[in-house]
Amino acid sequence: MTAGACGRVARDPRFDDLSGEYKPEVFDKTYQFLNDIRAKEKQLVKKQLKKHRSGEKHEQLQQLLQRMEQQEMAQQERKRQQELRLALKQERRAQAQQGHRPYFLKKSEQRQLVLAEKFKELKRSKKLDSFLSRKRRRNAGKDRRHLPLNKD
């Protein structure tokens, strides 16, 4: 039987209007239990990493643990950004209730706020120097690429 014969049509919820709009806040609240499962998996990987001191299995476990930590950091960053957006939204609402005209930040201003927050965080964690040196090297590489070649 084909999909058309039994009356069912395969739908991809990512692109289907019937599935509703994606809201990260609702998604995070609904699937909060996944964070506990991820934490347990991370502990399990750490235990297995202690068992396998060297070899290919050790390398695989090391990469898996690193990927898990990176995903966790990215999730925390998204959560922090979301909280910042929510705080700005509440601030705007409060000002509107006081009678002020609503003011919306441009994307460039939002980017500047994010960069300022990142700068403060790096300064707090004392990783600012390494970050700036990496950025300097990256920019120097880009500049070198755009320079004309000297043919002497």
pTM: 0.64
Q: What is the pLDDT of residue 23?
A: 84
Distance CA 9, CA 4 (A): 7
Residues of the chain below pLDDT 50:
1
Supply 141's token pair: 């590489």
- Buried residues in 81-105 as b, exposed as e (16+ CB within 10 A): eeeeeeeeeeeeeeeeeeeeeeeee
71-112 per-position pLDDT tens digit: 999 999 888 888 888 888 899 899 989 998 878 888 998 889
